[in-house]
Amino acid sequence: MDVLCCHGAGRTSSRTWTWQPWLVLFICLCGAGVARAQVRYSIPEEMAKGSLVGNIMQDLGLDVKRLKSGRARIFTEDSSKYIGLNTDKGTLVVKERIDREELCAQVSPCSLHFQIIVENPMELHRIDVEILDINDNAPAFERKEIRFEISESAPPGARFSLDSAKDPDVAINTLQTYQLNPTDHFRLNTLSRPDGTKYVEMVLQIALDREKQEERQFILTAYDGGTPQKSGSVKINVIVLDANDNSPVFSKSVYRVTLPENASKGTVVLRVSATDADQGANGEVTYSFSRSTGSSASSLFNVDTFSGDITVNGMLDYEKVKHYEIDVEAADKGGLTDTGKVLIEITDVNDNAPVISVISFSNPVPEDSAPETVITMLNIKDLDSGKNGHVKCSISPDSPFGIKSSSTNFYSLVSDQALDRETVSEYNVTITAADEGSPPFSTYKTVTLKISDVNDNAPLFPRQSYTAYVVENNPPGMSIFSVKASDKDSGNNARISYLLDDYQVNGWSASACVSVNAESGAILAVRSFDYEQMKEFQIRVKAQDGGSPPLSSNVTVNIMIQDQNDNAPQVLYPVQTSSSLVAEMVPRSADVGYLVTKVVAVDVDSGQNAWLSYKLQKATDRALFEVGLQNGEIRTIRQVNDKDAVKQRLTVVVEDNGQPSRSATVNVNVAVADSFPEVLSEFTDFTHDKEYNDNLTLYLVLALAVVSFFFIVSIIAILSVKCYRWRRDRMFYKSNGNLPVIPYYPPLYADVGGTGTLKHVFNYEVCGTTDPRKSDMKYVRPYSQSVISLDGTQTLPHAQRDNLISDISESQYKSFQIKQTRQHHFLVVYLFTDRTPPEQRQ
């Protein structure tokens, strides 16, 4: 419901003005979804700047917050801003000095009309402020002195037009009465024009006598009706002339004429005519505008002095002044006059095109705006009248907008259809305003409406799923793949961020396998992949825009791990150990193609990286065996004979088909024999071969280095001891004292110094000679075990010892004994010293 509120405001002069309540009207206005109210205030003119006009916050029911959020402002059609809006207090205040006479002249009532626009939602409130007149102007005459020449023959009742006083105030404050002093010969006749203005005539009451008094003076005073009353006066001088019996007389007392406003300069409006019955110079009539004619009329029209033709002398404008009243005075040479009235009505011509003013403009327009949303408020006005001022408004038909009339001269541009920025982001709407004149005038105004984006489109991937390939053993941080989504929105609504939808992938978190660059959509490997552990996995990448709320979409990326030849073949059979000997036995009666064994190997790679081939790298007798290229089977390629060695060693290389290829080597021991003892005697020292016992070789080298170190230290110590003893013996030899008896040994033998270092469980005898090549050592270790060990892994029962030893040659048996000695790490050092008696050394 719209409210019409009217209040009066006043100021103190000689009279006290007080606030007067006006009638409150409630009006409902419908149209285009715009709320409207009308409020009327009355204030006196000449109020000080900042004076209160009215409280719209109370009268319109608008709080300060609504005024600020709706960007409340004043719109005036003529752009005059006498009234200001204080949005902090919700009041209307005087912004500039208001002079009612300057603003409205004689028009009454004098009002300021403007609108208060409030947006979001759109509201339009009409405010009328009536400016009340105060008596701030006194009546005034244009001239300081009026001069008349009147014949003494002028009869009583003769009338003489006087200048009218001007008082720009209105109503009671304007001109009210005239007074003439003295009044012995003349009286005043006060008359009123159709517009209400007053003018006076001086009427002769007593005939003048030039011979008594040739010149007379009078004072004409004009009074207004204000409080306090103000006045203005003018001096009248009357010169008495000699007799002129007849005055000019107009053919009509009032002339009426209509004139179109587009009449050009020089156009004859009409001709006035007056006659004088006198003869000669007293009968010659001249025409002029009376002094009572207003300045505006006298400037726009002209009267020919002799013909009485009234012509246009300026530019007429119906919209400013619709009618003129002219007093034409006819005078003869004798000074007698008559006054005729000319009323000119100005008719309207369609000379003004409509004017389109945008008073509110919501730009840009959100694309999700509902139908009937007010976008722009327009004021369309045509200064012409009637059909010439009747305006029809329309817009281009191909736009999704419509235009509706909200109130007189006001139109609303509203949305008519659903908007989609992604389809059309900008509209140029042409508004046409045409009047109904003949010919009609039209005005065009183009309004550019930008459609602002709303987050109504989710990011989209070109495909629903992708497949990416990555070679295993990739470096962490390597780019695997890149996804790209597009969003039809703009700005932040189209700013896409990429996220990884984290979930379990083969027991792993997806974020532990890959990461996604939030800006570029690049998928990066977080770790190095191993094809043998994980051949493929699937992730989901989310594309999310920056809207509020954000929209998103997902895409599936299948990541395929590609195999790389990073694993060498592994031999499953025969099993290779460093502590035992495994040998395959081939009977000497084996024929060609005899299957000795099969090398079994696997490769955990895939594809051609796992295709294995077998090759014989080296063999004791390459002419005896061959290896199947594909199956790894070792077969004889000829008949086995007695000349073939019992102990055969084959080295087989297993190689895959990768690029580059990888390989593994396996040693296969083959015994060509028909019985186990024959095999045992041949393979006793086989497992400790230097070529196949790298660990033992390393230990022996370290032991030899340590022994060498201690040996050098021991030699230095022995040399030192011997040097010391030699000096002591010489000292004892030269002295004749009692010396201890040193036993004498035959030259062939020498005593062994020091004590034995072998454990007591070993029985040994040492016989030393002066010749180290003839030294001898003998030791025996008791065998109390029930079995004996062949190489640390194969054993024989103790009862079979004698039979085995009898089959083994003496050299083999000695080798066996030495080997047993090595296992116990015995070290014997022989020191041979010179025991020759001192007397023989000379």
**Please, what CATH class does the domain formed by 2-132 belong to?**
mainly beta
Q: Euclidean distance between the first and final Cα of the chain, in Å?
A: 153
**pLDDT score recorded for residue 786:** 33
What sections of 53-167 are H helices per DSSP? 56-59, 64-69, 100-104
pLDDT attached to residue 469: 95
The values of phi and psi at residue 6, to 5°, are -130, 135
In sequence order, which residues have a C-beta less than 8 Å from that of residue 420 and are 6 or more positions away? 367, 451
Instruction: Calculate the CA dihedral of residues 470, 475, 477, 481 and round it to 10 degrees.
Output: -10
Q: How far is CA 658 from the centre of its chain?
A: 52
Ranges for all domains in the chain classified under CATH 2.60.40.60: 2-132, 137-243, 244-347, 355-452, 465-562, 570-683
Please tell me whether residue 434 adopts helix, strand or coil conformation. Answer: strand
User: Which amino acid, one-letter code, is at 140?
Assistant: A
Would residue 387 be called left, alpha or beta, if left means φ above 0 and alpha means ψ between -120 and 50 degrees? alpha
* DSSP assigned state of 439: S
295: enclosing H helix or E strand: helix 295-300
User: Amino acid letter at 203?
Assistant: V
| Regions of the chain where pLDDT drops below 50 | 1-33, 687-693, 733-842
Question: Could you give the CA distance from residue 599 to residue 632 in angstroms, rounded to a whole number?
Answer: 5
CB 191 within 8 Å of CB 99: no
Q: What angle do CA 551, 557, 562 make, to 5 degrees?
A: 160
Strand 231-241: give its sheet, edge to edge.
145-151, 231-241, 215-224, 175-181
Tokens of 691: 């070529």
Half-sphere exposure of 186 (CA within 13 A, CB side): 28
Nearest to 250 by CA among 333, 342, 151, 334: 342
Task: Find where tokens 């984290």 sit.
Answer: 502
- What pTM does this model have? 0.52
Distance CA 365, CA 359 (A): 16
Contact 547, 493 (CB under 8 A): yes
**Residue 415 and residue 375 in contact, taking contact as beta carbons nearer than 8 Å:** yes
Q: What is the pLDDT of residue 84?
A: 92
Which residues have a Cβ under 8 Å from the Cβ of 785 and sit 6 or more positions away?
Answer: 798
Annotate 693-716 with three-state secondary structure.
Answer: CHHHHHHHHHHHHHHHHHHHHHHH
Could you tell me which residues come within 8 angstroms of residue 634 by beta carbon, excluding any fewer than 6 positions away?
584, 595, 596, 597, 598, 599, 625, 626, 627, 628, 650, 652, 668, 670
Question: What is the residue whose two structure tokens read 């230095």?
Answer: 716
Kindly report, residue by residue over 687-712, the tens digit of the pLDDT. 444 444 456 677 888 888 999 999 99
What CATH architecture does domain 570-683 belong to? Sandwich (2.60)
Compute the 3-state secondary structure of the chain and give helix, strand, coil in percent, each to the nearest 5.
Answer: 15, 40, 45
Fold annotation for 244-347? Immunoglobulin-like (2.60.40)
Contacts 24+ apart (CB under 8 A), 777-783: 777/828, 779/821, 779/826, 781/820, 781/824
Check if the beta carbon of residue 41 is closer than 8 Å to that of residue 127. Answer: yes
CB 465 within 8 A of CB 539: no
CATH: 3.30.300.30, 1.10.150.20, 3.50.40.10, 2.60.40.60. Which one for 355-452? 2.60.40.60
Q: What is the pLDDT of residue 543?
A: 96
CATH of domain 137-243: 2.60.40.60
Q: For 388-413, give one letter per residue: b (16+ CB within 10 A) or e.
A: bbebebebeeebbbbbbbbbebbbbb
- Give the contacts of 138 (CB within 8 A, at least 6 positions apart): 167, 224, 230, 231, 232
CATH number of 465-562: 2.60.40.60
